[in-house]
Amino acid sequence: MPKAGELTYLANLGEGGREHSLEKPFSDPSCGIALASIGFIMTLLPPPPARILDLGCGGGWTSIFFAKRGYEVVGQDIAPDMIDLARENCARHGLSARLSFLCGDFESLDLDGSFDAAIFFDSLHHAEDELLAIGSAYKALKPGGALITHEPGEGHATAPESIEAMRIYGVTERDMPPHLIMRRGKEVGFTDARILPIPHYLHDLFYAGRKYPRRLLSKRRWNSAKRVLKMLFRPDPSLSSIVVMTK
């Protein structure tokens, strides 16, 4: 049963995995990209002290960043030991006045419509039923509230690291592209969906080291220009992306 894998994930990681979770994102090789992603998401949120629901928060590092920014944050996770770790992490940072956690399945939450924004940060793709999860977020939001997702697109479930995680830990790894998120969002009542590029792609385009041919209109330069224009005017609904929807 896949959810059993989610419930035992932290225990199966061992002490090294626990320390890694406590120190995220700084313990992660992709720390810079993760920090950029959180920064981008903060620009999409209403100003502090808005009330934020952080869905599938794991060890709580995303919740801590939002709380440090001045938001009133509730972090949610399905695994009791992850919630214990998140509370320990919260205490280390002295944020208990504006950060709390709840243990439950984000596919069956019944919250009170008091949140200004809800966020799935690399967590919705672990859902067995994304319609139920997105419906939970919808019910948790105030009218006019925003759901923001940062999720992997098509190909994630068949990537070697995903197959390995499913084999070793028994967790759910699914493709969660924008077209699926937006379709499910529309079914539960969300409107005004937007697709935005994740920092990983921006880094690949603008910051990664590469040597271009001297010719201004070389094939490589032209392909890069086409990618930029597509991001601006016709974002690909199959790629890993940030999606913003409004209640």
State the pTM of this model.
0.93
Token pair for residue 213? 């041919």
What does residue 151 show for φ and ψ, rounded to 5 degrees?
A: -140, 155
Predicted local distance difference test score (pLDDT) of residue 133 = 98
Residues in the chain where the model's pLDDT stays below 50:
1
| Residue 29 β-bridge partners | none
Q: Write the DSSP symbol of residue 204.
A: I
Predicted local distance difference test score (pLDDT) of residue 1 = 47
Predicted local distance difference test score (pLDDT) of residue 215 = 67
Residues in Cβ contact with 43 at an 8 Å cutoff, skipping those fewer than 6 apart? none
83-141 pLDDT, tens digit per residue, is 999 999 999 999 999 999 999 999 999 998 999 999 999 999 999 999 999 999 999 99
Predicted local distance difference test score (pLDDT) of residue 212 = 62
The answer to whether 146 and 126 are in contact (CB under 8 A) is: no
Residue with tokens 């006045």: 97
